[in-house]
């Protein structure tokens, strides 16, 4: 009986399903990979295995009418995925903390059955460390969903890429999500 309760507890911890965090309610379910742990934040869903400075996966639900910090471009309901990708690329490119930005790939992608985009890029931080990011995004109603995997380029990115791909494949919008 204890073993069954323990397995149920592990399953619950391993899934974020309508999780309430501060003022945020997540409208998705996702399986946290074995050995990874969730960091407490009210702005997005963030997990890491070793340390967020080495690697992390992030999911953010962002209202499309919320202004960006670094670009005047805006997301709009019904926007084509590549148009949304252009807004995100402009935001990233205008961020003074993202140095030596290099776009490797910008392609269409499907995330949980939703048409979106996939961006792969590298950049350096102010300390000279190089990171690689795989960024997926799509608009559903009035919400922009983005799922990202960022890791130190030299060793960690390739090491945990398959884990992130499984994490991404487990992502599901909760059916009760309006529009």
Is the confidence at residue 163, as pLDDT, over 50? yes
What percentage of the chain exceeds 90 in pLDDT?
78
CA separation for the pair 31, 29 (Å, rounded): 7
Mean pLDDT of 33-54: 93
Is the confidence at residue 41, as pLDDT, over 50? yes
**162, 169 contact by CB (below 8 A):** no
CB atoms within 10 A of CB 52: 15
> pLDDT band for position 179 (50/70/90)?
very low
Three-class secondary structure of residue 19 per DSSP: coil
> pLDDT band for position 10 (50/70/90)?
very low
Average pLDDT over all residues of the chain: 86
Q: Which residue has the higher pLDDT, 40 or 70?
A: 70
CA separation for the pair 26, 174 (Å, rounded): 9
CA separation for the pair 44, 60 (Å, rounded): 5
What percentage of the chain exceeds 70 in pLDDT?
83
Q: Which residue has the higher pLDDT, 16 or 171?
A: 171
84-88, 162-166, 174-178: least confident range? 174-178
pLDDT, one tens digit per residue, over 77-123 is 999 999 999 999 999 999 999 999 999 999 999 999 999 999 999 99
CA separation for the pair 118, 70 (Å, rounded): 20
Q: Which two tokens stand for residue 140?
A: 């559903």
Is the confidence at residue 14, as pLDDT, over 60? no
Mean pLDDT of 40-68: 94
Domains of the chain: 38-172 (3.40.1000.10)
**174, 145 contact by CB (below 8 A):** no
């Amino acid at each position: 009986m204890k073993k069954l309760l323990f397995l149920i507890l592990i399953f619950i911890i391993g899934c974020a399903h309508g999780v309430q965090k501060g003022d945020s309610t997540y409208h998705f379910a996702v399986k946290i990979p074995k050995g990874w742990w969730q960091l407490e934040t009210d702005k997005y869903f963030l997990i890491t295995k070793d340390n967020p400075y080495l690697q992390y996966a992030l999911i953010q639900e962002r209202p499309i009418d919320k202004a960006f910090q670094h670009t005047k471009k805006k997301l709009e309901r019904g926007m084509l995925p590549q148009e949304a990708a252009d807004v995100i690329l402009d935001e990233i490119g205008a961020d003074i903390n993202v140095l030596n930005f290099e776009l490797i790939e910008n392609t269409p992608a499907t995330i949980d059955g939703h048409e979106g985009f996939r961006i792969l890029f590298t950049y350096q931080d102010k300390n000279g460390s190089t990171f690689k990011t795989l960024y997926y995004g799509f608009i559903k109603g009035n919400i922009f969903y983005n799922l990202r995997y960022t890791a130190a380029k030299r060793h960690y990115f390739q090491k945990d890429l398959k884990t992130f791909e499984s994490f991404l494949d487990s992502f599901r919008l909760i059916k009760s999500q309006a529009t």
